[in-house]
Amino acid sequence: MARMKSDLSRLAARLGRAFEYARKAARRCVLYPHAWLIRRLRGHSVTVVGITGSAGKTTTKDLCQTILSEFGPCQSNPRSENEHFDIAQTITNVGRRHRFCVLELSGGRPGYLDFALRLSRPDIAVLTLIARDHFSAFKSLEAIAHEKGKIVSSLPERGIAVLNMDDPLVRQIGESCSRRVLWVGKSEGATLRLREARSRWPQPLTLTVDYEGRTYDISTALHGTHLALSALMSLGVAVAMNLPISSAIQALRSAAPPEGRMQVLTLENGITFVRDDWKAPLWSLQAPFDFMKDAQARRKVLIVGTLSDYSASASKVYPKVAREALEIGDLVVFVGPHAMRALKAPIVRAEQELLAFPSAGEASAYLRTALRAGDLVLLKGSNKADHLVRLLLDQERRVHCWKEKCGLATFCARCPVVYAGAPPEDHGVEFLRRADEVLRAGELENPSATEGPFVIVGLGNPGAEYCDTPHNVGYRVLDRLAARVGGAWETHKEGAVSFGPYGGTTLALFKPGLYMNRSGEALRLFLERVGGSPERCTIIHDDIDLPLGDVRIKRNGGDAGHLGVRSIIGCLGTGEFERIRVGVRTAGDAQKAKERVLKRFSPDEIYVINGSVAQAAEIAVARVVDLADSSKSLSA
């Protein structure tokens, strides 16, 4: 009987997969012609930017989207969804109001770019670099360059290529093309020439760039000097469109990295994670390792997952990587099926530790007690193989799904079962089908929708004279969030509002339109209009008691002397809401709080506060997903 049930379960799984394949094939038959038609109809009014390369595509795409959104509505494919279906879906979402469309294009095997280029027909082509990613499919770097170079050769007569002058193979492609080329890089002759890139944690990435005889010092909220290329590429796209470079630079200052690409998250327990866990070809380890080597931190922890795209045997590669990691880290942890091979590497210093775990669940059981406040932790692995982000999630809330090779490529924070455990085996196909729909459409069922939207409130003072003051940090965080989720600001009588879907729920970003000490009046009116509640609010505000660069979460409590929070508690009649506190106190500053919070930041302080703003934004969206999951569990 047991064997019969097992056979029936496998048969059901196969039938489910066949049904899913047929369903997707039917959708493509409708979607592709629709996308083809939309691209031709909107061609005269929308500038399409196509981005490809062996690395940096998603970061460049997101930075371009942030910059171009300053000049008009911009559509782009979400996250790293860059296959044919995703490109077609993004094109069909381009409406009459859109001015730009930024598309990340995959070229993971020979010939794959052909259809994507016929469908998208880019006006501007961006080629980041040529490396060994997908080497096994192409067999040589020259073959990879040939495939990626199709994005340049397919440009229309008036098309423009934005190319990396420092990559020899990309340079060959540019020099042989008949279209206009805008070069970026360190090399002499680059249109946008990088003079210097600096990124030493906790300081963010700063760039010195030459353009048309002027030198620009650019502060960003990114980390890692290797992201300088993506920043330059995105500025190059703006220049190619004849957009003001000063405005493009200003937009770049607040641009956040994509999830899992040198994304910095500081948890409430004081542990800072650097997530570079989307994929881990062997050649890509050097950049995050260099970042960790230069970083200033109490203790450095390197967690390495499954590696890919290497030609030597795993028994030689993993010990070599472990030796390199031990030259940097105080604690080095390998996770995955080949992890044990890393233990062959010798310890460099007596106080170091080198550990290996075959699964993420076992690694997390150790790290829950091993990590401590002040640690800087690098997560480097392949998300599809390892789902290393669960090590981070498990630090704040117990993860129950430790399934290996679940078949989903998306990050676990958006998975409907990460905190609820894996589904029964015989329902696996249905779960994968539903999860795939959820993650593509962003329509995770929200049983608590009747309770009103989740509201993130950024406190500040209206008026341009306050824009760079500590009191307006909350406004800065919301501007970053709006750029990330693609929301447009609307002005209402209560203040500025941006609505949009995120993490399977409705998200409202709200800037009170009254001065700080009257924030509560505006928020109360806004919540009454949208049917919101204090329990579903997160308030982001400056905190003069925290040092500059520090970000903390506080759940409930009093106002701690903050006039904006005091106003909110008084008007809502409760302090039962979450607060994200962004530190603004500088060492040795003897000014009174009232004087300090209304004085503009210095350029050096702006560098630090940009990093704080990025952390606060990431914490805010993570809490929205977490609260949405909690509401779903309670309603179930």
Beta strands in 159-262 (DSSP E): 160-164, 180-185, 192-198, 206-211, 214-219
Do the beta carbons of residue 378 and residue 285 sit within 8 Å? no
Q: What is the SS3 assignment for 544?
A: strand
Please, is 36 exposed, middle or buried when counting C-beta atoms within 10 Å of its C-beta (0-12, 13-18, 19+)?
Answer: middle
At 297, the amino acid letter reads: A
Q: What is the SS3 assignment for 622?
A: helix
- Return the residue matching tokens 């070229």: 107
**Closest of 295, 301, 325 to residue 375, by C-alpha:** 301
Please, is 436 exposed, middle or buried when counting C-beta atoms within 10 Å of its C-beta (0-12, 13-18, 19+)?
Answer: middle
Do the beta carbons of residue 60 and residue 230 sit within 8 Å? yes
**Closest of 297, 298, 359 to residue 333, by C-alpha:** 359
Which residue in 471, 492, 541, 562 is the catalytic one? 471
Tokens linked to 256: 């956040």
Please, is 400 exposed, middle or buried when counting C-beta atoms within 10 Å of its C-beta (0-12, 13-18, 19+)?
Answer: middle
Q: What is the SS3 assignment for 553?
A: strand
Do the beta carbons of residue 123 and residue 49 sit within 8 Å? yes
State how far Cα 220 lies from the chain centre: 14
Do the beta carbons of residue 594 and residue 568 sit within 8 Å? no
Tell whether omega for the bond before 257 is within 30 degrees of 0, i.e. cis.
Answer: no
Tokens linked to 268: 């409430």
Phi, psi torsion values for 550, nearest 5 degrees: -90, 140
| CA gap 442, 438 in Å, rounded | 5
- Cα distances (Å, whole numbers) of residue 341 to 323, 333, 336, 361: 12, 12, 10, 19
562 is catalytic: no
**Active-site annotation, residues:** 471
